[in-house]
Amino acid sequence: MLLKIFGCLLIFSGCGGIGFGMGRDYNARISQLEQIKKMLFLLEGEIKYNNGGIYESMKKLTGISDNIMTGFFEGVIKDNVGTLKEAWQFNIEKSFVADSKLSKEDIAIIEDLGNTIGMTDKETQIKNIDHAMECIDDNIGELKKGKTEKCRLYRTTGIAAGAFLAILFL
């Protein structure tokens, strides 16, 4: 009987932990989108005011902070696999798909930016970065609007599922 109770406690705490983990991932997604927006804003400023090329601008930004975009920019600069578009796409797979909490929609915004950045004049690059920041801002706004409800839902569902399974196994 003691073994059953211990097993039920493990199931309950495991399911609760999964719920809390999903809430933490939701918050991490918001944080990562904010980091991406900040770095795109800085990239836009570098391009606009320092009259540097895209590679020089990304290189300057790699030493500023340690976030998800810093590693991405470093990878784009180092992995010279052909064109900027190819290096951008290669590093999206390497930096965002496996190691981030971003959704496919969030990654698609960054991919779209990579399809146009570095190919046009300075003003068009700035407009493309602005568009990407607006899309990211929209995603952040939607996520923040539902943050309290979603996180509470994840935690409650995890705890309820754990309690249900624990009772079921008793």
In order, the DSSP letters of 70-128 are HHHHHHHHH---SSHHHHHHHHHIIIIITT----HHHHHHHHHHHHHTTSS-HHHHHHH
The 8-class DSSP code of residue 137 comes to H
Q: Which of 15-29, 82-96, 120-134 has the highest mean pLDDT?
A: 15-29
With 0-12 / 13-18 / 19 or more C-beta atoms within 10 angstroms meaning exposed / middle / buried, residue 80 is exposed
Question: Residue 120 falls within a domain, yes or no?
Answer: yes
Question: Residue 138 falls within a domain, yes or no?
Answer: yes
| pLDDT for the residue numbered 71 | 80
| pLDDT for the residue numbered 80 | 65
Residue % of the chain over a pLDDT of 90: 35
The token pair at 80 is 């010279």
Mean pLDDT, all residues of the chain: 86
Question: Residue 56 falls within a domain, yes or no?
Answer: yes
Number of domains in the chain: 1
Question: Residue 10 falls within a domain, yes or no?
Answer: no
Question: Residue 14 falls within a domain, yes or no?
Answer: no
| pLDDT for the residue numbered 16 | 92
Band of residue 51 on the pLDDT scale cut at 50, 70, 90: confident
Q: Which of 36-45, 60-69, 79-88 has the highest mean pLDDT?
A: 36-45
Q: With a cut of 90, say whether residue 161 has pLDDT above it.
A: yes
Question: Residue 5 falls within a domain, yes or no?
Answer: no
| pLDDT for the residue numbered 169 | 81
Question: 141 lies in which domain range?
Answer: 21-169
Distance CA 74, CA 90 (A): 12
Question: Residue 28 falls within a domain, yes or no?
Answer: yes
Question: Residue 126 falls within a domain, yes or no?
Answer: yes
